[in-house]
Structure 1
Amino acid sequence: MKITVTDKALTCLQEEWGFEEVTSVRVYGRYVGGGGDPYALGIMKAESVPGGLAIRTVTQGVTFFIEEQDLWHLQEKELIIDAQGIDIQFVLVEASIGEQ
């Protein structure tokens, strides 16, 4: 499992949300309602990276992380955080061998 953040996503966060270097961003699973998949991913600005950290990546000084309690949503997947205009998109793909 790993997190990849595209340049478009980082630019979106920096411009639209005012994220700067030395910012931490938590990625988490959340319940959104019924349907085929009642769960989705969300992001929020975090003050620091917690001790229950499971996955972390740093992109241009911004730390993106997932806590152990939220790993259930990403089992055997790679998360790519991208953007379409001002909308952040979460793309889950099967993890490469050796990254699970």
Structure 2
Amino acid sequence: MKIVISHEAMQWFKEEMEAKAGEYIRFYARYGGSSQLHDGFSLGVTKEQPMELSVELVEEDIHFYIEDRDIWYFDGHDLHVTVDPKQKELTYSYVK
């Protein structure tokens, strides 16, 4: 599995989350909501240091990652992160 971040999403992280070089951004399974993969769970995103890093993408020295404990959520899919141009919010797609 891998993480793919679009150019627009990278700009979103820099502007909205004030992500800077050397920082870590975690994608995690959170209880509540729903997704294409699981009812009752949705994808969350936060800035925090990794504890048990499983998957990592480094772009412009910003580390995007998923912890071992959250890998089940992706069910073998790659995570693609883009931005909805109208809503100006992150969108996630899961690709086998």
**CA gap 1:34/1:93 in 2 versus in 1, 3 angstroms:** closer
In 1, distance between residues paired with 2:45 and 2:13?
10
Shift in Å at residue 78 of structure 1?
0.5
Greater CA radius of gyration, 1 or 2? 1
Superposed, which structure 2 residues align to 1:1-100 within 5 Å?
1-33=1-33, 37-46=39-48, 48-50=49-51, 52-85=52-85, 86-94=88-96
Shift >6 Å, 4+ stretches:
none
SS of residue in 2 equivalent to 1:10: helix
SS of residue in 2 equivalent to 1:38: strand
Shift in Å at residue 17 of structure 1?
2.0
Shift in Å at residue 45 of structure 1?
0.6
Q: Percent identity?
A: 26
Task: Give the TM-score taking structure 2 as reference length.
Answer: 0.86
Shift in Å at residue 66 of structure 1?
0.5
Task: Give the TM-score taking structure 1 as reference length.
Answer: 0.82
Gaps of 5+ in 2: none
In 2, distance between residues paired with 1:18 and 1:11?
10
What's the Cα RMSD here?
1.8
Superposed CA deviations along residues 9-52 of structure 1, whole A, max 9, x for unmatched, are 11011112211111100110011147972211110011x232x1
More off after superposition, 65-74 vs 34-43: 34-43
**CA gap 1:39/1:14 in 2 versus in 1, 3 angstroms:** same
**CA gap 1:74/1:34 in 2 versus in 1, 3 angstroms:** closer
Work out the number of aligned pairs and report it. Answer: 92
